[in-house]
């Protein structure tokens, strides 16, 4: 689950979607009172802008299924507002512009380190 969470967070940062605008950016075709199924959410994570490649079904199940559920049901659904809150909790609050700067700095350090080995 950690890889899926990390991929989602990095994709959100890459596309400059902060934790506050997740509802507006990811679920723009849905109303607050609408629900989304596990299958629909999994497919949404694979589409633009995110294009997640990890196990999106596992991520969708984690966000929609009750914690103690054993039986898998792709038709199980949850309210859009609830799913948005769970995503925000899962990835923690962040500012994509600050995070992007941190990533760029880390990459520069790695490049310098690699160049020093040559």
DSSP readout, 25-40? HHSTTS-TT-EEEHHH
Interval 47-59 mean pLDDT: 87
Encode pLDDT of 7-22 as tens digits: 888 888 888 888 888 9
Buried b (16+ CB within 10 A) or exposed e, 70-96: eeeeeebbbebbebbeebbebbeeeeb
Q: What is the domain range of residue 102?
A: 2-117
Torsion of CA 73, 27, 22, 50, to 10 degrees: 80
Phi-psi region of 16 (alpha: psi -120 to 50; beta: other; left: phi over 0): left
Q: How many domains would you assign to the chain?
A: 1
Could you tell me which of 52, 55, 57, 54 has the C-alpha nearest to residue 76? 57
Confidence category of residue 104, pLDDT binned at 50, 70, 90: confident
Q: Indicate whether this model's pTM tops 0.85.
A: no
């Amino acid at each position: 689950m950690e890889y899926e969470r990390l991929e989602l967070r990095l994709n959100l940062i890459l596309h400059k979607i902060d934790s506050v605008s997740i509802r507006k950016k990811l679920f723009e075709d849905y109303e607050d009172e609408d629900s989304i199924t596990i299958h629909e959410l999994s497919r949404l994570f694979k589409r633009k802008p995110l294009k997640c490649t990890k196990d999106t079904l596992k991520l969708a199940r984690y966000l929609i299924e009750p914690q103690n559920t054993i039986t898998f049901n792709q038709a199980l659904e949850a309210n859009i507002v609830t799913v948005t809150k769970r995503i925000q909790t899962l990835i923690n609050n962040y500012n994509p512009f600050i995070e992007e700067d941190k990533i760029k700095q880390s990459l520069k350090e790695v490049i310098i380190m690699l160049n020093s080995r040559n």
